[in-house]
Structure 1
Amino acid sequence: MRPRADAARNAARLIAAARDAFLAGGDKVPLERIATIAGVGIGTLYRHFPGRDHLAEAVYRSELDELIAGVPELISKTSALEALQIWLSRYSQLIFTKRAMHDALRDTLMSREASTSVTWKRIDGALASFISAGSVDGSIRDDVRSDDLAVVLSGVVAAASFSADIEQLRRLLAIVATGVRRSTTD
């Protein structure tokens, strides 16, 4: 059953308000403040998002949705490897800007297994698109699997979460992209 239009608008406003609040004040911004910014009552916030972790995850997922939606366009404009490199750079920016929500996201994505699997399946699907296109255009090695790349990506993101250096995260992801490049001697 689809949510009512006003309920969907309220959820979208809450996600937008939370995104801005988390970026400005970290993950400790009072939920009451987020509800006020969104123009709804605290009860409405809790109806949509039973806790801070649910709200942080919704913010992350909405931005991930936008990032994943752009995969086909990226692939259509350049080689699969170059598209993957651009996507990884954008993903690094998404992860870096979520540092303020790190505690809430870590707890959410690491503790709720079903939720985590949905998120990583979506990321795996995006990575599979790059790999599939790379097998066609010859820019990505044949032995690369999307699930392996997703595991490496999660490890890089976890390691980089201890650093405030986005350039380090970008360098690490560039190393990952270089590792999947098809050798010119193949």
Structure 2
Amino acid sequence: MLREAFNVPNMLSLLRLAGVPVFLWLLLGPREDGWALALLVFSALTDWLDGKLARWLDQMSRLGQLLDPAADRLYIGATLVAFLVRGIVPWWLVVPLVVRELVVGVCILLLRRNGFLPPDVTYTGKAATFVLMYAFPFLLLTQGGSNVAAVARPIAYAFTAWGCVLYVWSGALYVIQTILAIRGAARTRAM
């Protein structure tokens, strides 16, 4: 069990988790957007790498299945909070994504209460996270009046729109999975 916890993919996920408070501090404290951007890109690369290594080295574990989405959610949450505080994104964009997280959290609690594990991450959920993780660096680049900001703006808004739609949709899919699982368990108990 201990060996499973300290495999390379899990260590990369733990490294990503440790980067969340540093990322938040860079955005909200000294407002070092360049360093925050570098950390966000590093996080996205290690997110991709930990999944590849887990499959390649046959080091997939239950801990890794918990750490990876936790790191994703924390980065997304931290980024949304920091961007909202700094005025990079409006509140009406943040609220549906936060509500989605709360609803998925309730679904996980309901599933556990009924004896189920959390649902597997869906392709739509992975795609949503992937698109949002591309949107966030571009949103950081939109700050200011430079030529880079002008070029980044439409790209950032496109990735943000698609990422938000996919993220909310993936949350709806988790709700549907939860309802079907609980109904199925109730039918089985009734028989």
Normalized against structure 2, the TM-score is what? 0.41
Normalized against structure 1, the TM-score is what? 0.42
